[in-house]
Amino acid sequence: MHKKQIAITLGIMCLALTACIVIQLKTVSNSNTTVSQSLKENSLRDEVLKWKEKYDNVYVDLINSTDNLERARKQATQNDTTSMAKQQEITLNNMLLGLTEVTGPGLEITLADNNTGLNKDGSEVLDISSQIVHNDDLLQVINALNNAGAEAISINGQRVIQTSSITCEGNIIKINGQRISSPFKIKAIGSPGLLSGSLNMIGGYLYYMKEDGVNVETKQVESTTVEAYNGIISYKYIKLKK
Amino acid sequence: MILIAIVIGCILGAVIGIYAPMVPYTYSGYLAIAIIAALDSVFGGIAATLNKNFNLKIFVTGFFGNAILSILLTYLGQKLNVDIYLAAIVVFVGRMFNNLAIIRRYYLNVWENRNSKKTVNSNEKAQ
């Protein structure tokens, strides 16, 4: 009896210990930290991870509250035509600002770095940089899309709105303050034929990128979903002119 | 019996750990300290068994008590902006080394005794 008791207790303790160790291993490997030799670097990385976690939590809260707000608005305006019209106006404005997910026909473009170092005809490339997607390329493509009448554009899930900037940050590109990297998936809503033609025609921007050997793929689609802008639009300086 | 229970406990624990949800990164530091404390208790228990003064009650309370106490101290340290967890790591790992040394010496002794017996036996046979 006594031995049985000891065995069961030890078993339960081993269970708790190994469960804790495995969970810890999983957490550490998931947060993909490489342990650095310097203590300061480690603590800084720790700090960043903690803030990121807090940000994610708050962001989930934000999404939930936006949903709640939407529901409350709907309920409040159910039996009132004037407020219903206002509600519709708010929805429309949010759509135009890029704060809601939108769908429609359009074009899906995938731009990816060519890492083979070979030209289209198999010869070695002189300037490897010409086969890499730069922030300028994305800017040019967006410009061409806007010129062709695109109504909503996103790159790798980042919606392009009126305050979006696309900058080069070393080997990554930053858009809306978020880091993205190759391959770039650009989704645009508009007339599929027009969008495709303006980029792929001889002399169009994608035509030149293909000539340079960048991996370019375009697809005209009947329906594509462009993600919502997931930041906060705030203005400090502009005012209405009286 | 005891060995079987330990092995089953370890396997079940690993399975539970694989399917359990992940700990938020903020709390993984506390879990790490608790694991170190628990490991220290385990090695202490093994060393005590070898010395034949193993007491289950002391072992269990040490196992859970040390883990919880170290978590609380780490939390307190974070509130006071002192890295108390460093002290906890030093103490627990130091004790772990001590216990491992005791275990090593015990088995070294056993091995040496067996060797000397063997040589005595072979000497007797030769005579």
Residue A82's pLDDT is: 82
pLDDT band at B18 (very low <50, low <70, confident <90, very high): confident
Residue with structure tokens 């980042």? A158
Q: What is the average pLDDT score of chain B?
A: 86
Q: Which CATH class is domain A102-226?
A: alpha beta
**Torsion from C-alpha of B95, B101, B106, B109, nearest 10 degrees:** -160
Q: Does B108 touch chain A (CB under 8 A)?
A: no
| pTM, two decimal places | 0.55
Q: What is the CA angle A191-A229-A200, rounded to 5?
A: 30
A-to-B residue pairs, Cβ atoms closer than 8 angstroms? 102
- DSSP for B11-75, please give it: HHHHHHHHHSPPPPHHHHHHHHHHHHHHHHHHHHHHHHHHTT---HHHHHHHHHHHHHHHHHHHH
Q: How far apart are CA A225 and CA A145, in angstroms?
A: 16
* Chain B residues closer than 8 Å to A7 by CB: 1-2, 4-5
Interface test with B, best of A8, A9, A13 (most B CBs within 10 A): A13
Task: Report the residue from A12, A27, A46 with minimal CB separation from B23.
Answer: A27
Is the per-residue pLDDT at B127 higher than 70? no
Q: Is the pLDDT of residue A224 over 80?
A: yes
The label of the residue with tokens 């539970």 reads: B16
Closest alpha carbon within chain A to B16? A19
Tokens of residue A50, six digits: 């903690």
Mean pLDDT of chain A: 86
- B39:A17 CB<8 A: yes
Q: CB A22 to CB B35 under 8 A?
A: no
User: For the residues A110-132, what does the mean pLDDT come to?
Assistant: 83
At B126, the pLDDT band (50, 70, 90 cuts) reads: low
pLDDT in tens, A21-65: 888 888 877 775 566 666 777 788 888 888 888 888 898 998 899
Query: Would an 8 Å CB–CB cutoff place A11 in contact with chain B?
Result: yes
ipTM beyond cut 0.90: no
For the segment B70-77, the average pLDDT, to the nearest whole number, is 90
Tell me the shortest Cα–Cα distance from B125 to chain A, in angstroms: 42
* Residue B20 Cα, gap to closest chain A Cα (Å): 7
Amino acid occupying residue A172: I
pLDDT at A109: 93
Q: Do B5 and A28 touch (CB under 8 A)?
A: no
